Structure 1
């Protein structure tokens, strides 16, 4: 591959030697005498490398480097300076030169210059290839994230549609048990839909911010349980915790089951009360998920136990999900009401 070299030097004789020497190695050398000519050629043509001499008639190579920088010219530069001027070479490197060659009267200069040109061009091409690969990777990542966000959006909308259909079917059901089963199924589907909604509305496509997710989930649950808003208060105390999608679904399902049953069975039909939902950092690597009430407690009836349902499916869901994300469902002793808790592992 031919290499195009722009050689900036006002010494015509040396320029002729450089052009002939580099030409033997398949380098196409274009010679200019000053900065204005160099800028004009660099802005109108493509060069692989610039060879820049320090001493010119009306300015130094360092000044030309500064001008390149101001104009955004990024062609790599091999700087040429005298044998006793190592300090100038170092200054050139600080100002953007890629390499330097010490000029002397021997033939070593031409050989060293040829090597510097080859190495500088090779390094520049490698750097450009890496930048191109990084840019392609970035674009591929953005495309994948966009596709994933769109998928989560479509899944959330589809699940929301299914939940709406179940709500309509539940409202027209003639038997109370059938209505409750459909309503519980609707709540479970809504919990999964909410997780997908959090994924596509969040900047982080692989994790769910649990604070708004659980808060929205609890709001939806209280709306679906008719007649309880006026007598039961639901409070939430949530830390800023992020979980992977699969763990977020499990937490959402557990909250759905425990809160639904607390809303239904913890208190008598004419009794006022409070249901408290917590998701707090507990200890290193774990968080405490809990649903608490001051109602009838575990011993009064099986229906009063959070995590149970008419079908028994809720119990199995809570037990399975709790074991998959932590230490299983626990019911710590409390003198009044019920506490159901899971210590959730925060490790991926």
Structure 2
């Protein structure tokens, strides 16, 4: 119904073409198309039901170009059929008293059809306008919400940065810096969510992870020989899962930057995001550092906060973690089902 409200040719062609010209043209086109079909029907049915095609013709004309176009189509069709087909060919004369009655009935039903089609067209137009207003209101609300959320994220990040600068204990300053990066990861997912993609509630992972890796590279002061590379497939992921994936990547890259290259100025960290045939995705964060310690890492209360957060974020994303490490580096894989 809303689509019909968008098909008003008078609005679409105005002011280039005057409304009345459009209406007459549409009336003539629909009546002409009906006459062509009438010729085809006559070859098969031999003139049966001469007025049958009037009603679809005038209905289409009215829906596309308003009531006047329907009236033009109806007038042309009735006069054409009256003169050429009914009741005496090539004449406006009637054989008997039933002829005028037939023409009168067709005229009245044509007027009723035009009225019904016009009422329907106006209802569809009102529905379309109401939908457009709702969309405009929604976009305004989302823009306001987006603006406020950006301000909130900026305030939180600013407070963390201020506390980090004032912290005398290096460990405290480091913890505040990590928290600031986590907030930034969530904020970036939010920004990509409200960029107006074709799929509401979805985040484009190529843009999001590329943006996140750029920010991490700058925040972790990865310069010179230590590089961070992001290689991702195109994929749209629901907002909540995208945020969890970004937080996992944030923690893993931060850990690699801090612990994978002790005493080294050269190294590489690679983040990949791949689509899996059959559904799902695989996220990997790998480095060519010294690898994990040979002693097993104990999970539980004594385990580091970063490790527990990674596991928690992976569960939130609906994925499972696998870690492979040796002297040539560490590779952490997050497998995500569809």
TM over 0.5: yes
How far apart in 1 are the matches of 2:261 and 2:291?
9
How far apart in 1 are the matches of 2:330 and 2:303?
21
Taking structure 1 as the reference length, what is the TM-score of the superposition? 0.66
User: 5+ unaligned residues in a row in structure 2: which ranges?
Assistant: 1-17, 21-26, 32-57, 87-97
- Report SS of the residue matched to 1:218: helix
For the Cα contact (< 8 Å) 1:202–1:208, is it kept in 2? no
- 1:209 corresponds to which residue? 204
1:144 and 2:130 are equivalent in the alignment: no
For the Cα contact (< 8 Å) 2:261–2:289, is it kept in 1? yes
- 2:189 corresponds to which residue? 195
Instruction: Give the counterpart of 2:239 among 227, 245, 255.
Output: 245
Q: Report the aligned-residue RMSD.
A: 3.5
How far apart in 1 are the matches of 2:303 and 2:165?
19
C-alpha spacing 1:152/1:317, structure 2 compared with 1 (3 Å): farther
Instruction: Give the counterpart of 1:155 among 145, 149, 154.
Output: 149
For the Cα contact (< 8 Å) 2:225–2:267, is it kept in 1? yes
1:176 and 2:147 are equivalent in the alignment: no
Aligned positions, number: 265
- Report SS of the residue matched to 1:298: coil
* Structure with greater proportional helix content: 2
For the Cα contact (< 8 Å) 2:232–2:272, is it kept in 1? yes
C-alpha spacing 1:302/1:171, structure 2 compared with 1 (3 Å): farther
How far 1:335 sits from its partner (Å)?
6.6
C-alpha spacing 1:125/1:276, structure 2 compared with 1 (3 Å): same
Instruction: Give the counterpart of 2:323 among 331, 336, 339.
Output: 331
C-alpha spacing 1:340/1:127, structure 2 compared with 1 (3 Å): same
- 1:95 corresponds to which residue? none
For the Cα contact (< 8 Å) 2:289–2:327, is it kept in 1? no
- 1:29 corresponds to which residue? none
Query: In terms of mean alpha carbon deviation, does 252-261 or 78-87 score higher?
Result: 78-87
Query: Residues 48-87 of structure 1 correspond to what in structure 2 (within 5 A)?
Result: 75=68, 76-77=70-71, 78-79=74-75, 80-81=78-79, 82-83=81-82, 85=84
Taking structure 2 as the reference length, what is the TM-score of the superposition? 0.68
How far 1:334 sits from its partner (Å)?
6.1
C-alpha spacing 1:181/1:257, structure 2 compared with 1 (3 Å): same
- 2:120 corresponds to which residue? 126
User: 5+ unaligned residues in a row in structure 1: which ranges?
Assistant: 1-39, 44-49, 55-64, 88-103
How far apart in 2 are the matches of 1:174 and 1:311?
25
How far 1:218 sits from its partner (Å)?
1.5
For the Cα contact (< 8 Å) 1:329–1:341, is it kept in 2? yes
Query: In terms of mean alpha carbon deviation, does 165-174 or 284-293 score higher?
Result: 165-174
How far apart in 2 are the matches of 1:341 and 1:135?
50
- 2:158 corresponds to which residue? 164
How far 1:313 sits from its partner (Å)?
3.0
How far apart in 1 are the matches of 2:311 and 2:184?
20
1:282 and 2:276 are equivalent in the alignment: yes
Structure number with the bigger relative contact order (C-alpha 8 A, sep ≥ 6) is 2
C-alpha spacing 1:233/1:301, structure 2 compared with 1 (3 Å): farther
What do the CA deviations read for 1:268-293 (whole angstroms, capped 9, x no partner)? 13342100011122322112111001
- Report SS of the residue matched to 2:100: coil
For the Cα contact (< 8 Å) 1:150–1:200, is it kept in 2? no
C-alpha spacing 1:264/1:335, structure 2 compared with 1 (3 Å): closer
- Report SS of the residue matched to 1:321: helix
* Structure with greater proportional strand content: 1
